[in-house]
Structure 1
Amino acid sequence: MNSVPAVRRLRAGDAEAAAALVRSAFAAQDAATDPPSSALRETADSLGAWIEADGGCCAEEGGALAALLLWAERDGGLYCGRLAVAPAARGRGLARALMAEAEREARRRGLTRLHLRVRLALPGNLAFFAATGFREVAREAHAGYAEPTTSVMEKRLDP
């Protein structure tokens, strides 16, 4: 089994590579989502602003970003957004390593929960987060949709 590369903080200089990674990872989802993911429209400017304001972490392979996770302190917890793993790097434990780093970051900040949103059309993603300790706390519909499109999930952390 391959060892998981070291996880490090995202830096402002990672923004262009981060945007390309997010777009390629979300374009390679298991199923199409309706509405399409806004991740497909991420740019170096939009991700650079997120990295600068709130932060995140990444893992590299061969000198290139292989996976990343953005986070932000919101609603009394650490919100995890834009978990992206390059299609060629999937199945190597990178997503788990990044989620573990998010948990460490939340604890460093004295926060007692992680939270995120997952599209209902992506059962593999829902199963991944459930397997890492998240539970659904609500369902939401995108604007203009009568039925829920998203699962709101959280993971409570022991103090």
Structure 2
Amino acid sequence: MEIKLANVSDAGIIHELMIKAFMEYKDEVPPSSALDETVDSISTSLKNNEMALITYIDKKPVGMVRFKLKEDGLYFFRLSVIPEKQGQGIAKKIVKSLEEYAKHKEVPKLLCKVRMTVPKNINLYSSIGFSIYNEEIVHKSEGINIKVVSMLKHIGEKPCESSL
């Protein structure tokens, strides 16, 4: 397995991985906004200080994550592993790579937001040392509200005992 920092030219790969992974949320109310993104929108984001990591197995892309460095930490989103490779620890390895990148950049913590309707993702992050620090309701168009939790992991801390 190889995890590489993406280039703007990788926007098509990032988009394809994200769409494959997020299709499972197409019937959510509302569907994930990830499904509305395009290669162009991702390319534009990568040109404007967004970064991404792409994971390859046997030179084939299988996962990715997008992220931004902010004052309070490294904020990541759209963590994606193609369905046929889920459950193999790839997402955890991607987050570990983010952690190493954050350490290298002397960033104190990793941050993400997760829909409360997706407990498997909350459990994934909790199992590798993240904790919930905020709950909020995101107001979407047409009066649709999405309950989300904000999660964080301080860099350098060991995972909580329950994940050992």
| TM-score normalised according to structure 2 size | 0.85
**Residues 27 and 40, structure 1, Cα contact 8 Å, conserved in 2:** yes
8 Å CA contact 2:139–2:145 kept in 1: the answer is no
State the partner residue of 2:95: 99
Q: Relative to 1, partners in 2 of residues 1:25 and 1:146: Cα closer, same or farther, differing over 3 Å?
A: closer
Aligned pairs for 1:25-40 (under 5 A) are: 25-29=21-25, 32-40=27-35
Deviation at 1:136, TM superposition (A): 0.3
SS at match of 1:149: strand
Q: Does 1:60 align with 2:60?
A: no
What's the CA shift for 1:147? 6.7
In the TM superposition, 1:38-117 aligns within 5 A as 38-52=33-47, 53-117=49-113
Aligned partner letter, 1:102: L
Identity fraction in percent: 24
- Given that 2:2 and 2:57 are in contact with CA atoms closer than 8 Å, whether structure 1 keeps it comes out as no
Please give the secondary structure, in 2, of the residue aligned with 1:142.
Answer: strand
8 A Cα contact 2:5 2:52, kept in partner = yes
Q: Helix, strand or coil for the counterpart of 1:28?
A: helix
Query: 1:94 Cα deviation (Å)?
Result: 1.1
Match of 1:155 in 2: 153
Moved over 6 A (4+): none
Tell me whether 1:127 sits opposite 2:123 in the alignment.
yes
* TM-score, normalisation: structure 1: 0.87
Higher RCO (CA-CA < 8 Å; seq separation 6+): 1
How far does the alpha carbon of each residue in 1:24-69 deviate from its partner, in whole angstroms, 9 at most, with x for none?
A: 101124x943322110112111222233322121111343320001
Distance in 2, Cα, partners of 1:54 & 1:62: 26
Range with bigger deviation, 85-94 or 112-121: 85-94
Q: For structure 2, which runs of at least 5 residues remain unmatched after alignment?
A: 158-164
RMSD, matched Cα:
2.0
Question: Residues of 1 paired with 2:44 and 2:89: CA distance?
Answer: 27
Distance, in Å, in 2 between the alignment partners of 1:64 and 1:13 is 16
Alpha-carbon spacing, 1:63–1:146, altered in 2? closer, same or farther (3 Å): closer
